[in-house]
Amino acid sequence: MARTALITGASSGIGREIARELSERGFRVILAARRKERLEELADDLDSESRVIVCDLSTREGCIDLYEQVKDENVTVLINNAGFGAIGRFDELPLDTELRMIDTNVTAVHILTKLFLKDFIAADRGYILNVASSAGLMAGGPLMAAYYATKAYVVSLTGSLSEELRSIGANVHISALCPGPVDTEFNDVAGCEFGVSAISAEECAKEGVEGLFRRKLIIIPGKGMKAAASLSKLAPREVVLRTAGEMQKQKLK
Ligand SMILES: NC(=O)c1ccc[n+]([C@@H]2O[C@H](COP(=O)([O-])OP(=O)(O)OC[C@H]3O[C@@H](n4cnc5c(N)ncnc54)[C@H](OP(=O)(O)O)[C@@H]3O)[C@@H](O)[C@H]2O)c1
C-alpha cells in the first residue's frame, strides 16, 4: 500500500490544504471530519488515492474508532488538525462548548498521538504534525482563555514527545504548527473576526508540511508572526496578557 497520511479536520481550511499538499507529494490521503460531502468533494478533486472517514473527534469512541479503521493502512504521517475556538468572557461562555473544545483540541490530539506514536516507534518511522496555534506559545489569551489553554497543551505535549523521541534515537518526528491568523472558517465557528491580517490556508499548509519534513519542532508560518512570537517571549507576562486581551477585544463581532 502507498505511503499514507491521515488528516483530521480535512473538510475545511488548513486541514483541507494540508491534504492537498500531501496528495501533491504523492501520499495516499485519509480525510477525516464530520461533514461527509465536503470530504467527498475534496477526495474527487485530488490526484492521489484517498479515503473518506466521517467521524466526530469530540468523543473518545470517535477517536479510537478512527484509529481502528486505519491502523492496518500503512499510515506514516498523522496530521492532528481538527479543532475550533470560541470567543467570550470565561464566566459567560457555555461550559458545554468549552468541554467540547477541550475534547476536540486536546483529548483527541492526545489519544491519536498516543495510538499512532506507539506504532510509529515500533516501525521506526513516521511523522506527526500537531496543529496548535501561536496562541499556544503565549502566556494566555483573555476572552479566548480555554482556546489558548488547549493550544498551550498541544505545544507542551509536542515538545516533550519530541525530546523523548530524540533521546531513544527513534526515526520518528513530531512538530507543532503554530500559525497566527489564517483565513479559514475558524472565525465563523468561533464567533469572531480578526483584528489583524490573515495568511492563506494554502501558505500555512505549505509551510507546515515543509517544516514537518525538515523536522522542525515549532513551525510558525509567515515572517510577521515569527517576529511577533519572538517579541512576546521578551515582554513581561502581564504585558503580554494585557496586549492579548486588547487584541481579542477587537475580534468580538
Ligand atoms: N484559522 C486560524 O486563524 C488558526 C490559527 C491557528 C491555529 N488554527 C487551528 O487550525 C486548525 C484548523 O482550523 P481552521 O482554521 O482550518 O478552521 P476550520 O476551517 O473551521 O476547520 C476546522 C476543521 O476541524 C474539523 N472539526 C471540528 N470539530 C470536529 C470534530 N468534533 N470532529 C472532527 N472534525 C472536527 C472541521 O470539520 P467538520 O466541521 O466537518 O467536522 C474542519 O475540517 C484548528 O485546530 C485551529 O485551532 C487556526
20: containing domain: 4-251
Closest-CA residue to 177 (of 251, 232, 127): 127
- Please name which of 185, 186, 197, 251 lies closest in space to residue 224, comparing C-alpha atoms: 197
DSSP letter string over 177-204? E--S-EESSHHHHHTB--SS--EEHHHH
pLDDT of residue 195: 72
What is the residue whose three cell numbers read 488538525?
81
pLDDT at 120 over 70: yes
Task: Indicate the SS3 state at residue 175.
Answer: strand
For the stretch 138-186, pLDDT in tens is 999 999 999 999 999 999 999 999 999 999 999 999 999 999 999 999 9
Is pLDDT of 100 > 70?
A: yes
CATH of the domain at 108: 3.40.50.720
- Measured CA to CA, the distance from residue 158 to residue 215 in angstroms comes to 12
* Ligand 1 cavity residues, CB under 6 Å: 8-9, 11-15, 33-35, 38, 55-58, 81-85, 104, 131, 133, 179, 181-182, 184-186, 189
**Whether residue 253 has pLDDT greater than 70:** no
Retrieve residue 129's grid coordinates. 504534525
Comparing C-alpha atoms, which of 237, 10, 17, 250 is closest to residue 143?
A: 250
The 10s digit of each residue's pLDDT in 177-215 is 999 999 999 999 998 887 778 999 999 999 999 999 999
What sign has the CA pseudo-torsion 197, 202, 206, 208?
Answer: positive
Q: How far apart are the CA of 243 and the centre of ligand 1, in A? A: 25
Atom of ligand 1 nearest to the CA of 135: 6
Question: How far is the C-alpha of 141 from the C-alpha of 222, rounded, in Å?
Answer: 21
Q: How large a percentage of the chain has pLDDT more than 70?
A: 99
In this prediction the pTM is: 0.97
CA angle 184, 130, 253 (to 5 degrees): 30
Question: Rounded to an integer, what is the distance from CA 24 to the centroid of its chain?
Answer: 20
Q: What is the DSSP letter of 137?
A: G
* Distance of CA 169 from the midpoint of ligand 1 (Å): 32
Nearest atom in ligand 1 to the alpha carbon of residue 189 is 20
Give the list of residues 6+ apart from residue 118 with CB closer than 8 angstroms, or none: none
Question: What's the total number of domains in the chain?
Answer: 1
CB atoms within 10 A of CB 118: 10
Residue 36 CB contacts under 8 Å (≥ 6 apart), including other chains: 52, 54
Long-range contacts at 120-125 (CB < 8 A, ≥ 24 apart): 120/76, 120/170, 120/172, 121/165, 121/168, 121/170, 121/172, 124/170, 124/171, 124/172, 125/76, 125/171, 125/172
- Cα 231 to Cα 218: distance, rounded to the nearest angstrom: 16
Distances 36 to 11, 23, 32, 136, 248 between C-alpha atoms, Å: 8, 19, 9, 30, 33
Quote the ligand 1 centre to 236 CA distance (angstroms): 31
Q: Ligand 1 pocket test: pick from 6, 7, 14, 193 the residue with the most ligand atoms within 8 Å of its Cβ.
A: 14
